[in-house]
């Protein structure tokens, strides 16, 4: 097997890593993509400074939010609808999404600079909207919702089933998509090659006083349970530590208003953060951090 050790950590630039997991076959439960159906060799490395995890292999993987991700995960339009209906029917105590929405509504009610009274609803953009279960709940809570996804089937589902605005585009190439009070990356940044560039681009889509919500897999907690954890499945190029998520915010011009870890009802280990642009809202962010 070729040497897969990364050259440098994308968050702290450290060049020292420890190899923590080696895979010669997919772990149980991992989705089988077309590109990973043959010889399977993969390694996970951890940065010795910030604790960030990188999954590396030589298989020719496309970007995961292209057609193959939907094909392999849901199978069809009917599969998308079926998965959506199953998730929204979950008891609130068993729903990751209900907990996510509740936390966002609580936090934004306290810290978001509300739109001028009576003029408009608060607006949210969900990048990589997928099944759109998040916006389904945000719409019910009274938000003006926009989904963005590069897969046309996900976009049609958002429009026709969930009833929200939807944009068929690659976020990194999208232009003039508007400005929002909240931009959400729900389990998205771990899938891309360059999470720094993606998060940085969201600055241009924020209203004054707006913020970004980020959810990523928590590698520090997941690693304790071993290599079979879904946080380390092949579709995750990056698995974060508390420190590497804070560094991601710093590198992209954001100040963390809050970073917290949780074990979700689905048993996923998750880090979530609310981020404010440093230059746009430094005073508000400082006040929040001092509380």
In this structure, is residue 235 part of a structural domain? no
In a domain, 243, yes or no: no
> Looking at residue 69, what is its pLDDT?
58
> Does 164 reside within a domain?
yes
Range of the domain at 102: 63-216+251-289
CATH code for the domain of 261: 3.40.50.150
In this predicted structure, what is the pLDDT of residue 286?
A: 44
The 10s digit of each residue's pLDDT in 170-196 is: 999 999 999 999 999 999 999 999 999
Q: How many domains does the chain have?
A: 1
pLDDT per residue over 237-289, tens digit each? 999 999 999 999 999 999 999 999 999 999 999 999 999 999 744 444 444 43
Establish if 23 belongs to a structural domain: no
Residue 58 lies in a domain: no
Contact (Cβ atoms closer than 8 angstroms) between residue 272 and residue 248: no
Which burial class, exposed, middle or buried, applies to 53 when counting CB atoms under 10 A from its CB (0-12, 13-18, 19+)?
buried
Is 245 part of a structural domain of the chain?
A: no
On whether residue 2 sits in a domain, the answer given is no
Indicate the pTM of the whole model: 0.89
Structure tokens at 200: 């940085």
What is the rounded distance in angstroms from the CA atom of residue 53 to the CA atom of residue 46?
4
What would the mean pLDDT of 51-79 be, rounded to a whole number? 69
Inside any domain, residue 98:
yes
pLDDT digits (tens, 9 = 90+) for 113-150: 877 656 789 999 999 999 999 999 999 999 999 999 99
Cα–Cα distance, 231 to 218 (Å, whole number): 7
Residues 6+ apart with CB under 8 A from 64: 191, 192, 235
């Amino acid at each position: 097997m070729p040497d897969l050790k990364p050259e440098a950590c994308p968050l702290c630039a450290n060049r020292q890593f420890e190899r923590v997991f080696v895979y010669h076959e997919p772990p149980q439960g991992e989705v089988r993509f077309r590109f990973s159906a043959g010889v399977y060799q993969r390694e996970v490395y951890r940065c010795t400074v910030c604790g960030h995890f990188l999954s590396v292999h030589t298989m020719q993987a496309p970007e995961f939010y292209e057609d193959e991700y939907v094909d392999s995960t849901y199978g069809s339009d009917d599969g998308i609808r079926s998965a959506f209906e199953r998730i929204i029917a979950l008891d609130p105590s068993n729903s990751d999404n209900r907990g996510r929405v509740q936390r966002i509504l609580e936090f934004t009610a306290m810290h978001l600079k509300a739109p001028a009274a009576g003029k408009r609803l608060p607006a949210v953009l969900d990048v990589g909207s997928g099944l759109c279960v998040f916006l389904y709940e945000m719409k019910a809570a009274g938000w003006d919702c926009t989904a963005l996804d590069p897969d046309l089937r996900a976009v049609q589902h958002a429009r026709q089933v969930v009833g929200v605005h939807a944009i068929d585009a690659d976020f990194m190439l999208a232009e003039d998509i508007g400005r929002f009070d909240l931009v959400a990356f729900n389990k998205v940044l771990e899938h891309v090659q360059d999470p720094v560039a993606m998060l940085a681009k969201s600055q241009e889509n924020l209203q004054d006083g707006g913020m970004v919500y980020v959810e990523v897999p928590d590698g520090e907690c997941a690693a304790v349970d071993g290599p079979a954890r879904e946080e380390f499945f092949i579709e995750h190029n990056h698995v974060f530590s508390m420190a590497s998520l804070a560094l991601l915010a710093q590198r992209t011009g954001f100040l963390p208003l809050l970073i917290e870890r949780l074990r979700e009802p689905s048993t996923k280990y998750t880090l979530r953060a609310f981020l404010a642009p440093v230059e746009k809202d430094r005073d508000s962010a400082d006040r929040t951090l001092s509380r």
